[in-house]
Amino acid sequence: MAKDTVRYPDDVVEEIDALVEDGMFESKSEFYRFSAEYVLTLINDDHDVKTFNFDEIQAELDISDRDHAEALGTDGGTFFLDAVINVRKHGLRGNYEAAERFIDTHYDETDQECIILEELLGTYRDGS
What is the residue range of 92's domain?
76-125
Yes or no: say if 102 and 83 are a contact pair by the CB < 8 Å rule.
Answer: yes
| 58 and 81, same domain (yes or no) | no
Residues 85 and 79: their CA atoms lie apart, in Å, by 10
Residue 3 falls inside a structural domain: no
Confidence of residue 19 (pLDDT cuts 50, 70, 90): very high
| 49 and 89, same domain (yes or no) | no
Yes or no: say if 90 and 99 are a contact pair by the CB < 8 Å rule.
Answer: yes
Residue 39 falls inside a structural domain: yes
Poorest-pLDDT segment among 59-63, 69-73, 83-87, 95-99: 69-73
Q: What is the pTM of this model?
A: 0.52
pLDDT digits (tens, 9 = 90+) for 1-11: 788 888 889 99
**Residue ending a domain, choose from 26, 53, 70:** 70
| 55 and 97, same domain (yes or no) | no
| 88 and 116, same domain (yes or no) | yes
How is residue 95 annotated by DSSP? -
SS3 category, 53: coil
| 92 and 47, same domain (yes or no) | no
Split into its structural domains, the chain has a count of: 2
